[in-house]
């Protein structure tokens, strides 16, 4: 009987709490103003990304690989913000900090899946710019709508496999110490660290995911721009170099907005002790601000989109004028 009880392969049970308590923003003065700010960020994010998606869908000239990748980025931005901000506001503004185990796993999946999707899509867009500037004569042969669709399908599959693996490893943990999550959502790191059984596989996969979804995409993006820089020096005229560089300006700004806050927070945490509230606010802004700014930057920096918007407004103005004339007659 004793030998049976000592066998680890027999009677293994995992203790899953019925709910977690999201600790979030603890003792931050005037924190409700921050939630109101996040409401504003979310509204702008929804409107901006929905508008970009609408423009790309309705304008046939935008049915190109470049804009297919941009559409994918807009979807990732919109879904990541929707998975994070409304839930955050419901949790803290309306004092609903308890979340069921299954709902917590779902929240974790969608936040990390679409955040990783942003990083991977920016890398795909960097590859698009690399081919366009370094191999311009072969661009339309290498980068086609079919090729871009296949690449994005691979990206979605790749992202799904690793995020689902991270969630699956959470379900093999037992939680007998605490149910208080020291974050503002169901964050992977704070949750697996609460486990009372072996969490080494979770820790190892978290480090692998950081490499695959943060460091590797950033490295590939930087390498793309190193090759692009070399190609720019080979362009004879200054006007030609500026024109080529302008096609990359929007993407470069998006990369900076996405990676700099995240990298800054990680570096700060490694170099000195970062207050938990400062870490939470920094990471929440890192997740919330880029999806809001991405569509604004692309609209303001892309001539094709600006021209399309002008045409839409002119068409709308003409329609309104014709309607007014018909009513008056």
* pLDDT value at residue 329: 60
* 9, pLDDT greater than 70: no
* 3, pLDDT greater than 50: no
Answer whether residue 318 is part of any domain.
Answer: yes
SS3 (DSSP) at 170: helix
- The DSSP element (H or E) to which 259 belongs, if any, is helix 238-271
Q: pLDDT: is 205 or 268 the higher one?
A: 205
Answer whether residue 7 is part of any domain.
Answer: no
* 320, pLDDT greater than 70: no
CB atoms within 10 A of CB 131: 17
Beta-bridge partner residues of 4: none
Span 140-178, pLDDT tens digits: 999 999 999 999 999 999 999 999 999 999 999 999 878
CATH no. for residue 302? 1.20.1070.10
Beta-bridge partner residues of 48: none
Span 18-75, pLDDT tens digits: 999 998 877 777 788 888 899 999 999 999 999 999 999 988 889 999 999 999 999 9
Answer whether residue 12 is part of any domain.
Answer: no
Answer whether residue 72 is part of any domain.
Answer: yes
Q: With bands split at pLDDT 50, 70 and 90, how would you rate the model's confidence at 317?
A: low
* 5, pLDDT greater than 50: no
Q: How far apart are the first and last CA of the chain?
A: 97
* 7, pLDDT greater than 50: no
SS3 (DSSP) at 46: helix
Residue ranges making up the domain that contains 258: 17-328
Query: Domain tally for the chain?
Result: 1
Residue range 254-281: mean pLDDT, rounded: 80
CB atoms within 10 A of CB 295: 25
Asked if residues 199 and 193 have their Cβ atoms less than 8 Å apart, the reply is: yes
* pLDDT value at residue 275: 74
Beta strand segments in the chain, E: 19-22, 98-100, 180-181
* pLDDT value at residue 328: 61
Q: pLDDT: is 280 or 193 the higher one?
A: 193
* 187, pLDDT greater than 80: yes
* pLDDT value at residue 242: 84
Q: pLDDT: is 259 or 302 the higher one?
A: 259
* 11, pLDDT greater than 50: no
Tokens of 159: 């992202």
Answer whether residue 5 is part of any domain.
Answer: no
Answer whether residue 65 is part of any domain.
Answer: yes
DSSP 212: I
Determine the distance from the C-alpha atom of residue 229 to the mean position of all C-alpha atoms in its chain, rounded to a whole number.
27
Answer whether residue 31 is part of any domain.
Answer: yes
Which residue, among 128, 118, 129, has the nearest Cα to 151 in the 3D structure?
A: 128
Answer whether residue 2 is part of any domain.
Answer: no
Q: With bands split at pLDDT 50, 70 and 90, how would you rate the model's confidence at 252?
A: very high
Q: Could you tell me what percent of the chain has a pLDDT over 70? A: 91
């Amino acid at each position: 009987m004793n030998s049976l009880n000592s066998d680890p392969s027999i009677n293994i049970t995992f203790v899953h709490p019925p709910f977690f308590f999201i600790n979030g923003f603890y003792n931050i003065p005037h924190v409700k103003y921050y939630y109101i700010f996040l409401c504003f960020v979310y509204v702008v994010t929804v409107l901006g990304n929905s508008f970009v998606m609408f423009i790309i869908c309705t304008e046939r000239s935008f049915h190109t690989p470049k804009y297919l990748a941009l559409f994918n980025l807009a979807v990732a931005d919109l879904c990541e913000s929707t998975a994070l901000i409304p839930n955050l506001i419901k949790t803290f503004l309306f004092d609903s900090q308890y979340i069921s185990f299954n709902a917590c796993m779902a929240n974790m999946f969608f936040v990390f899946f679409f955040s990783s999707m942003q990083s991977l899509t920016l890398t795909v867009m960097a590859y698009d710019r690399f081919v366009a500037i370094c191999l311009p004569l072969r661009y339309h042969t290498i980068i086609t709508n079919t090729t871009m669709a296949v690449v994005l399908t691979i990206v979605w599959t790749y992202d799904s496999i690793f995020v689902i693996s991270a969630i699956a490893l959470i379900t093999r943990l037992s939680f007998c110490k605490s149910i208080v999550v020291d974050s503002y959502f169901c964050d992977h790191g704070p949750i697996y660290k609460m486990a009372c059984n072996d969490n080494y596989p979770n820790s190892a996969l978290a480090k692998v995911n950081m490499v695959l979804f943060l460091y590797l995409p950033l490295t590939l993006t930087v390498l793309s721009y190193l090759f692009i820089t070399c190609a720019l020096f080979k362009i004879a005229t200054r006007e030609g170099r500026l024109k080529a560089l302008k096609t990359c300006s929007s993407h470069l700004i998006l990369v900076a907005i996405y990676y700099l806050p995240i990298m800054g927070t990680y570096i700060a945490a490694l170099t000195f002790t970062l207050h938990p509230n400062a870490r939470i606010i920094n990471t929440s802004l890192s997740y919330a601000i880029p999806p809001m700014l991405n569509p604004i930057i692309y609209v303001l920096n892309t001539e094709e989109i600006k021209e399309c918007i002008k045409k839409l407004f002119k068409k709308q103005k003409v329609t309104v004028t014709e309607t007014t004339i018909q009513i008056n007659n």
